[in-house]
Structure 1
Amino acid sequence: MASLQYVEKIREFNRYYANVLGKIDQEIYNQPFPLTEARVITEINFRNGCTATEVRETLGIDRGYMSRIVQRFEEEKIVIKKQSTDDKRQYLLYLTDYGKEVFNGLVENANREVGKMIQAISKRDLSKLITSMETVESIFSKEHSSQSELSIRSFRSGDVGYVAHLHGKLYEKTYKFGRMFEYYVMKGLTEFMINTDGGDLWVAEVNGKIVGSIAITKSNDTVAQLRWFVLDENYQGLGIGKKLMETAIHFCKKQSYQQVFLWTVSILDTARYLYQKYNFTLTEEKPNEEWTGTKLVEERWDLDLSDENQTL
């Protein structure tokens, strides 16, 4: 049994932090969307095609309460149900355009209120706070995968096809990207295999299973492109994306690239957050109607590696 001293300290921290979270929640989440409903909206936004059961189990919500929330959100045109193509008995939840406006409003309100909460904290203490939060998250994530062995390695024969498979499977299931997107990925990977000069492709393996990838390709002598960054959604939250990103940026520095850029789409909120974390900046936007049949916004993000202050 764990030492009583550790148990009591953890419980003490839990009581204190619960009060902090309670204050944040009280400031951020007001009617007509209290905390639980706001979390449901957020979960549906990020999953973009999930069952009510998946949301309920993730958030620990009572079945009856979840049913009432979904019914209300349908009536208020916040969510829409679509029959699953894989299982006709299931219906998947998506945010409507109005629902996305609601979600964006929640995010803006949350950012504003948390910004007020931390504005009196020094940059040094704020950095320590974020590092401590990441440490707590990392340790408890390991608790869920204590038997997992993670490795990041350069690609070998047979890996590239699986990288294309990961892209096609994830983007079709989660974002409804079509065959043209899968063709675009496979075409680029094929060209990369013919000429890997100045670049590399890495895969992340958990217990020998490929769960993610990232690559660097040479644009010119001083500029590199970051490509094929993907992570199996079942392995998100374990720090794998961070390790892949750091591997790619470290490679760019070793190759003496002065700049690295990437293309993404505006709906990939988790990836865009990670790019911002590593000091990429949005530099260009353009429309895309090829991949989903609806208008997407492609974004170019750039990272200046010649900046002496730029660190991992």
Structure 2
Amino acid sequence: MHIHEIRAFNRFYTNLIGALDYGKHLRAPYTLTESRVLYELAHSPRTDAVDLRVSLSLDAGYLSRLLTRFERAGLVERGPSTTDARRQRVTLTPGGREAAALLDERSRAAVGSLLSGVPPEDRPRLATAMRTVRDILGRDRTRPADAPVLRDPVPGELGWIVQRHGALYAAEFGWNTDFEGLVARIVADFAQDHDPYLERVWVAELDGRPVGSVMCVRDDAPGTARLRLLFVDPDARGHGLGGRLVEAVVEFAYEVGYREVVLWTNDVLVAARKIYQRAGFTLVAEKPHRSYGVDLVGQDWRLPLQEGTAK
């Protein structure tokens, strides 16, 4: 009985989302597997070929042929891993990132169209049911259900970044709403006008919920990237997410050609400063100031991006 129900659901859902003709469904020249590989490459700060093979349960020969086609099409570049010369690292080219972004946009539009036929009061129940399926069937997968991941923000999460910064810094440091206003302006500027090839936001997800963020934007100085809005929720700390978020910014900045990464922070953010130090940032200037209703010492940190910086 259970097998019959699961098979019936599989037939229903694959037809519903157009999985049998995925390229036509999204008006794109990629199969479902090719689209999934592009998605993984676009949403992971570092991806070796073996990581793709294991996470997607793909045959090594099939994946190699797929990546060769992508390479010939100018979508990916391959080279030795920076951590293990025996591994092959795969990265998206600007053209590959553009293709992945287009697929992501069309996929979101398709899901949005699907949800438009679902009454608003039923949507939470639908999302909970889907999460239950993932939790139950994903327990024995290679990646545990609670493994933290870094990804692009989904609609509504830029506002969440503003809200969480305001609430978290008020609770932990007593900062007033001036700080939340600053974060709101930074996020609004990014949402309204950013270069997707040179600027990016990452959201850290744990147990299916957002728990942190970081941003990489262009600085006024030519060739300089600025790291902004790093935070991790208190109940998600201890998983190394702060370090992974900073690492994502550094690797992204290195790969798109920035010469250095800079950031501004305050001396009371001790945990964040330790993360910056471990990533190789150097304190270059300090200045007392009064902001957000308290006395602080602002700090400028800098990381030159030279050969071998990204690891």
SS of 2:291's partner is coil
Pairwise CA distance, 1:250: 0.9
Identify the residue that residue 230 of structure 1 maps to in structure 2.
231
Identify the residue that residue 174 of structure 2 maps to in structure 1.
176
Q: Does 1:189 align with 2:190?
A: no
SS of 2:265's partner is strand
Identify the residue that residue 92 of structure 1 maps to in structure 2.
none
SS of 1:289's partner is strand
Question: In 2, distance between residues paired with 1:294 and 1:157?
Answer: 33
Question: In 1, distance between residues paired with 2:267 and 2:224?
Answer: 23
Pairwise CA distance, 1:289: 1.0
2:284–2:301 CA contact under 8 A, matched in 1: yes
Identify the residue that residue 137 of structure 1 maps to in structure 2.
none
Give the residue type in structure 1 aligned to 2:151.
Answer: R
Identify the residue that residue 309 of structure 2 maps to in structure 1.
310
Identify the residue that residue 256 of structure 1 maps to in structure 2.
257
Identify the residue that residue 157 of structure 2 maps to in structure 1.
159
Pairwise CA distance, 1:228: 0.7
Question: In 1, distance between residues paired with 2:284 and 2:222?
Answer: 21
Which blocks of at least 5 consecutive residues in structure 2 are unaligned? 1-143
Pairwise CA distance, 1:199: 0.4
Question: In 2, distance between residues paired with 1:188 and 1:163?
Answer: 11
Q: What are the residue-to-residue correspondences of 1:1-312 with 2, within 5 Å? A: 147-197=145-195, 198-219=198-219, 220-291=221-292, 293-306=293-306, 308-312=307-311
Question: In 1, distance between residues paired with 2:176 and 2:289?
Answer: 12
Write the deviation string for residues 3-31 of structure 1: whole angstroms up to 9, x where unpaired: xxxxxxxxxxxxxxxxxxxxxxxxxxxxx
Identify the residue that residue 14 of structure 1 maps to in structure 2.
none
Identify the residue that residue 142 of structure 1 maps to in structure 2.
none
SS of 2:276's partner is helix
2:287–2:297 CA contact under 8 A, matched in 1: yes
Pairwise CA distance, 1:260: 0.6
2:199–2:216 CA contact under 8 A, matched in 1: yes
Question: In 1, distance between residues paired with 2:302 and 2:167?
Answer: 27
Write the deviation string for residues 55-84 of structure 1: whole angstroms up to 9, x where unpaired: xxxxxxxxxxxxxxxxxxxxxxxxxxxxxx
Question: In 1, distance between residues paired with 2:169 and 2:146?
Answer: 25
Q: How does the TM-score come out when normalised to structure 1?
A: 0.51
Question: In 1, distance between residues paired with 2:245 and 2:216?
Answer: 11
Pairwise CA distance, 1:243: 1.4
Question: In 1, distance between residues paired with 2:254 and 2:308?
Answer: 13
Pairwise CA distance, 1:231: 0.4
Write the deviation string for residues 185-232 of structure 1: whole angstroms up to 9, x where unpaired: 101110111111120001011122100001100114410000010100
Write the deviation string for residues 226-282 of structure 1: whole angstroms up to 9, x where unpaired: 001010011111111121111111110111000110011001111101100011001
Identify the residue that residue 125 of structure 1 maps to in structure 2.
none
SS of 1:157's partner is coil
SS of 1:155's partner is coil
Question: In 2, distance between residues paired with 1:221 and 1:255?
Answer: 13
Write the deviation string for residues 137-195 of structure 1: whole angstroms up to 9, x where unpaired: xxxxxxxxx65132211123211001111111110000001110110110111011111
CA-atom RMSD, angstroms?
1.7
Which blocks of at least 5 consecutive residues in structure 1 are unaligned? 1-145
Pairwise CA distance, 1:284: 1.4
Pairwise CA distance, 1:285: 1.4
2:264–2:301 CA contact under 8 A, matched in 1: yes
Moved over 4 A (4+): none
Pairwise CA distance, 1:297: 0.4
SS of 2:275's partner is helix
Identify the residue that residue 29 of structure 2 maps to in structure 1.
none
